[in-house]
Amino acid sequence: MESVDLRHSRTVSKSSRPRSSTRGPLDEFNDPLGSADVNVSSAPFVQDAAQTGIYTGHTLTALDPLAPNELPPGMEKDLSYLLRYDLYHSLSQIDIPHPLRSEFVTPAPDEMLSSSLGKVEILLAEGHFLLAAYLCGTILTSRSVSPTDTKLIFGLFYTRLACLELSGNAVLAAQESKALEDLTSAFYYVDFDLDASAKENSQKPSVHARHIVPWPLRVLAVRLQSIGFGDPRRGIGGLYELGLEARREIMRTELTQSERQIWRDRLADLGIRSVNALIEMGDLDAARRSLHSLKIADSEAEINKSRKVLLSLMIGDLDAAKKVCEEAGMPDESILKPLISMAEGQYNDAVAEWRALLENGEENNDKALISQNLAVCLLYSGQLNEARQILESLVAANHSFGSLVFNLSTVYELCSDKAGILKTSLAESVAKQPISGHINLDRPSADFKL
């Protein structure tokens, strides 16, 4: 077994600065994404417990379909550094409105580990992300998890970080993610072709060594560690390093077609994430160049055109947004047309265009979002009462996504001296809505402007 002390001999991360090359693994001309058979997205979980109604904790250890099921004998990894109590922040519901608060779930002293893991899955399926994060931290520090159970520890740690981010506690997640240290270190690689003695003498991973950390955790850690260390360039460099690994794996001849497809999907996802990272850095011009240079599969062509339009609108380049729409031949009933009208300040035109979309019924999947945008345009055009009616009707129809409740709270502030009472009543209405599992139930007070 590898001792904890070996963890401190890891090499220094190479992700502290972006690569000097102007062309990287995410935008090479010889792109594996150019294959015509790229049309299937891989699922992060092997089984959706929310659909089956069976909660056994299995999905917590099934994050990565390509991860090794177990490490070879004599090559176990000691992950006790992720089981320390002082690593995890105390969580509180003080920033959550009273109607939305729920009791933290704490395992009983004699409770089986499988029962606790099942409770985590139930909380995830319901949308109680803050409660799930708390329970994951409790399980990790409860001494019921073996320090060498890498799949379970990484699964719980990933769930903890992801739930913290989803519940509006990304800063806490960023601080806790630093415990992973350098994910490119040889500590996290295992060569299944070597015996234990050879592995102990190895100073760096071989070309075919496999990473023991699930892919979703590696991708999430890149972003969170860049926030935690206050270095946005670290995130860009980390994504490019993952892109290089994805390209190497795609080119391996012994891969099955399904495994190669998963790596292609991952490489495509990294390309979009690199654009998002540049946007978060505030370098919108670089983000636009990166987005235009990406090789996109045919199945993603339409949505990528929409991304280009939205990014151009964010930059403020309306001419470029219109040009993309014209070149793409987007129909008049596209939601991008009223968005361009809003960007130009033509709110009356946007109102008519949003209404036309609702009447045509061709965007049924986005009906709630379209209705909200219509209400915003009505607000800007001085029709405050109608805007309020539309937003309240959406809440009555059990819609409560973040921008909706925030916009309705803003309308209450503009139209009433008793905005505080109305916003509290809004929080109570949201708390009574049926659980869908698609929305965070542990909503902060900031969503309601309380």
Tell me what pLDDT residue 325 has.
Answer: 84
> What's the whole-model pTM score?
0.83
| Percent of the chain with pLDDT strictly greater than 90 | 51
How is residue 65 annotated by DSSP?
A: T
One-letter amino acid at 178 equals K
Helix spans in 254-300 (H): 257-281, 284-293
Question: How far is the first Cα of the chain from the last one, in angstroms, to the nearest whole number?
Answer: 52
Nearest to 175 by CA among 224, 239, 237: 224
For 379, counting Cβ atoms within 10 Å of its Cβ (0-12 exposed, 13-18 middle, 19+ buried), the class is buried
Tell me what pLDDT residue 169 has.
Answer: 93
C-alpha 442/C-alpha 449 separation (Å) is 15
Contacts for 229 with CB less than 8 Å, ≥ 6 apart: 178
C-alpha 18/C-alpha 11 separation (Å) is 17
Digit-coded pLDDT (tens) for 109-166: 888 998 999 999 999 999 999 999 999 999 999 989 999 999 999 999 999 999 999 9
For 71-75, 281-285, 286-290, which range has the lowest pLDDT when averaged over its residues? 71-75
Nearest to 77 by CA among 160, 215, 200, 218: 200
Q: CATH 1.25.40 region(s) of the chain?
A: 337-449
Q: How many CB atoms lie within 10 A of CB 283?
A: 15
Tell me what pLDDT residue 2 has.
Answer: 43
Digit-coded pLDDT (tens) for 242-273: 999 999 989 888 888 999 999 999 999 999 99
Arithmetic mean of pLDDT, 226-237: 90
Is it the case that residue 239 has pLDDT exceeding 90? yes
| Percent of the chain with pLDDT strictly greater than 70 | 81
Q: How many CB atoms lie within 10 A of CB 364?
A: 10
Is it the case that residue 229 has pLDDT exceeding 70? yes
Q: Give, in words, the CATH class of 337-449.
A: mainly alpha
Tell me what pLDDT residue 421 has.
Answer: 93
C-alpha 346/C-alpha 305 separation (Å) is 23
What kind and span of H or E run contains 190?
A: strand 189-190
C-alpha 412/C-alpha 389 separation (Å) is 11
Tell me what pLDDT residue 24 has.
Answer: 46
Using DSSP's 3-state secondary structure scheme, residue 431 falls into helix
Q: Average model confidence (pLDDT) for the chain?
A: 82
Is it the case that residue 195 has pLDDT exceeding 60? no
Q: Which residues are registered as beta bridge partners of 190? A: 210
